[in-house]
């Protein structure tokens, strides 16, 4: 049987047909060009800087919540200087706070918004950022604060994410276990949260203790700080900062805040405020009467000026008041930190002002209670357990005044202790940023 006649291949045609030969050469040239372009694109992608979308910035009524973001930005700048970063901020980031962040990070791009159910962003800037990024990094906070945004990002992009320095297990953490397990890494800012996550079955590939990002905050407004200190007769190194708070922040008292009054929380505040402030007030009295230092009462959130006046300043004996300054207006993180680094140390029942202080080598004593979740345990985790007091335990609360006076009377020893903790935190920051860098290398 005669075999079927088949069309000659291009190679066969080139041997007999000038036209076919030209077609073959043209096709070969186009293929080569396409291959070269593809190789070039792949090379460019491999060579370009890594791109990080930082989901952070939770609220601006608290200088500690503000500090999370510039802290992580400073770590990225220091440890991954080649990376490009866009901040995905919450909608309530104010122009004033954004301007403060831009003074420290002038090239920072900020986007806001959310990812809708169909996978598209609520605005073009966020859409571009989501498409642009290689990796989503969730910043420090009381929980996986932006869980909804992270879940939408993962579902609709398939891109990787990690979590940097959160507390887990409080009333903010419901429903995030599965999502945390999908992260490339989760750094918990206190050991209690880490163990709780393990007990709950969270099984991300890397789970370990990682300091709150606010330890790295280095914002400054030296001019405002120096002016404030001069106006109030406070000299560098010759005063302690004192902060206090109620069990629950009364957000409903802040003008413009939409959160409703909570009668149950308000009642709890009223019931506990004398117990919680008595040891701190006694510490102020002893510092003034037993040392050469003055005391500055200052706020971490917008509600605490009133709290400090009512519970700390007004009840003080007249001889003590003469060397106590009550700050009556709120401030931003840069001015506050510029004051903290000029102080001899901090004490009181807030957390992030002490974090920023120790992150800059300034000693700080922390008082805590049940409503503050487990975040205060980080003080033990970084070697400052004897500067941590549980106000729910009468025996610990009674030790606060003596501990503050001891710190004030031996500032050299206190500074060495703070510096040791700071060095340990910086070691962990290098390690955790190294883990992030490894994830970006494998993109």
Tell whether the model's pLDDT for residue 36 goes beyond 80.
Answer: no
Q: Which residues have C-beta within 8 Å of that of residue 131, sequence separation ≥ 6? A: none
Q: DSSP assignment of 31-80, as one string?
A: HHHHHHHHHHHHHHHHHSPPEEEEE----SSBHHHHHHHHHHHHHHHHH-
Residue 201 and residue 322 share a domain: no
Residue 156 and residue 78 share a domain: yes
Question: Helix axis angle, 400-409 relative to 411-441, nearest 10°?
Answer: 100
Query: Is pLDDT larger for residue 258 or for residue 226?
Result: 226
Percent above pLDDT 70 for the chain? 88
Tell whether the model's pLDDT for residue 11 goes beyond 50.
Answer: no
**The predicted structure's pLDDT at residue 349:** 97
**The predicted structure's pLDDT at residue 169:** 86
pLDDT band at 106 (very low <50, low <70, confident <90, very high): very high
Tokens 């992150």 sit on residue: 359
Residue 419 and residue 430 share a domain: no
In a domain, 4, yes or no: no
Residue 419's CATH number: 3.40.50.2000
Exposed, middle or buried by CB within 10 Å (0-12, 13-18, 19+), for 205?
A: exposed
Tell whether the model's pLDDT for residue 41 goes beyond 70.
Answer: no
pLDDT band at 10 (very low <50, low <70, confident <90, very high): very low
In a domain, 2, yes or no: no
Q: Which residues have C-beta within 8 Å of that of residue 428, sequence separation ≥ 6? A: 209, 210, 211
Residue 231 and residue 212 share a domain: no
Q: Around Cβ 135, how many Cβ atoms within 10 Å?
A: 19
Residue 262 and residue 127 share a domain: no
Residue 248 and residue 125 share a domain: no
**The predicted structure's pLDDT at residue 47:** 82
**The predicted structure's pLDDT at residue 426:** 98
Residue 323 and residue 302 share a domain: yes
State the Cα–Cα distance between residues 200 and 377, nearest whole angstrom.
Answer: 19
In a domain, 34, yes or no: no
**The predicted structure's pLDDT at residue 22:** 56
Tokens 């200088």 sit on residue: 63
Average pLDDT over residues 316-328: 98
Residue 362 and residue 312 share a domain: yes
337-381 pLDDT, tens digit per residue, is: 999 999 999 999 999 999 999 999 999 999 999 999 999 999 999
- Please give the backbone phi and psi of residue 245, each rounded to the nearest 5 degrees, phi first: -150, 165
Average pLDDT over residues 382-392: 98
Tell whether the model's pLDDT for residue 18 goes beyond 90.
Answer: no
**The predicted structure's pLDDT at residue 256:** 86
Average pLDDT over residues 55-69: 96
pLDDT band at 441 (very low <50, low <70, confident <90, very high): confident
Taking CA atoms, 45 is separated from 58, 147, 313, in Å, by 32, 29, 60
Helix (H, G, I), strand (E, B) or coil at 231: helix
In a domain, 196, yes or no: yes
Q: Which residues have C-beta within 8 Å of that of residue 37, sequence separation ≥ 6? A: none
**The predicted structure's pLDDT at residue 258:** 86
Domain that residue 287 falls in: 222-423
Beta strands in 183-337 (DSSP E): 186-188, 207-209, 239-243, 294-297, 324-326
- The number of folded domains in the chain is 2
pLDDT band at 403 (very low <50, low <70, confident <90, very high): very high
Tell whether the model's pLDDT for residue 243 goes beyond 60.
Answer: yes
Residue 351 and residue 371 share a domain: yes
76-89 pLDDT, tens digit per residue, is: 999 999 999 999 99
In a domain, 76, yes or no: yes
Residue 281 and residue 163 share a domain: no
In a domain, 25, yes or no: no
Residue 397 and residue 368 share a domain: yes
In a domain, 18, yes or no: no
Query: Is pLDDT larger for residue 143 or for residue 47?
Result: 143
In a domain, 399, yes or no: yes
Percent above pLDDT 90 for the chain? 86
Q: Considering the chain, what is the average pLDDT of its residues?
A: 91
Residue 436 and residue 414 share a domain: no
Query: Is pLDDT larger for residue 35 or for residue 63?
Result: 63
Tell whether the model's pLDDT for residue 16 goes beyond 70.
Answer: no
Q: 120, 163, 155, 362: which is closest to 387 by C-alpha? A: 362
């Amino acid at each position: 049987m005669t075999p079927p006649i088949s069309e000659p291949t291009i190679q066969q045609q080139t041997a007999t047909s000038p036209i076919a030969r030209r077609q073959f050469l043209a096709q070969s040239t186009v293929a080569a060009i396409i291959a070269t372009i593809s190789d070039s694109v792949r090379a460019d992608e491999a060579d370009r800087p890594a791109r990080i979308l930082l989901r952070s910035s939770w609220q601006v009524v608290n200088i500690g919540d503000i500090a999370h973001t510039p802290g992580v930005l400073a770590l990225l700048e220091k440890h991954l200087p080649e990376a490009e970063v866009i901040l995905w901020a919450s909608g309530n980031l104010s122009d004033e706070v954004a301007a403060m962040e831009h003074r420290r990070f002038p090239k920072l791009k900020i986007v806001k918004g959310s990812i809708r159910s169909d996978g598209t962003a609520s605005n073009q800037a966020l859409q571009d950022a989501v498409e642009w990024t290689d990796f989503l990094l969730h910043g420090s906070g009381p929980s996986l604060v932006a869980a909804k945004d992270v879940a939408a990002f993962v579902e609709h992009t398939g891109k990787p994410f990690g979590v940097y320095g959160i507390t887990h297990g409080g009333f903010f953490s419901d429903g995030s276990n599965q999502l945390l397990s999908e992260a490339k890494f989760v750094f918990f800012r206190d050991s209690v949260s880490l163990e709780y996550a393990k007990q709950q079955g969270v099984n991300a590939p890397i789970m370990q203790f990682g300091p709150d990002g606010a330890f790295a905050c280095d914002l400054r407004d030296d001019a405002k700080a120096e002016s404030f200190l001069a106006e109030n007769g406070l000299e560098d190194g010759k005063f302690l900062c004192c902060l206090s708070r109620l069990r629950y922040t009364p957000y409903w008292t802040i003008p413009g805040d939409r959160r409703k009054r909570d009668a149950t929380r308000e009642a709890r505040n009223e019931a506990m405020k004398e117990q919680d402030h008595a040891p701190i007030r006694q510490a102020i009295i002893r510092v003034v009467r037993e040392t050469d230092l003055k005391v500055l009462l200052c706020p971490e959130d917008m509600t605490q000026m009133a709290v400090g006046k009512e519970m700390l300043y007004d009840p003080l004996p007249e001889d003590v008041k003469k060397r106590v300054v009550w700050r009556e207006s709120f401030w931003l993180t840069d001015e506050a930190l510029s004051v903290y680094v000029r102080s001899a140390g901090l004490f009181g029942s807030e957390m992030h002002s002490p974090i920023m202080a120790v992150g800059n080598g300034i000693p700080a004593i922390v008082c805590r209670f049940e409503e503050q979740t487990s975040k205060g345990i980080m003080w033990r985790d970084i070697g400052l357990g004897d500067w941590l007091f549980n106000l729910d335990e009468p025996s610990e609360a009674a030790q606060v005044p003596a501990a503050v006076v001891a710190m004030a009377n031996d500032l050299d020893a206190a500074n060495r202790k703070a510096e040791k903790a700071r060095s340990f935190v910086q070691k962990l920051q290098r390690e955790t940023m190294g883990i992030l860098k490894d994830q970006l290398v494998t993109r």
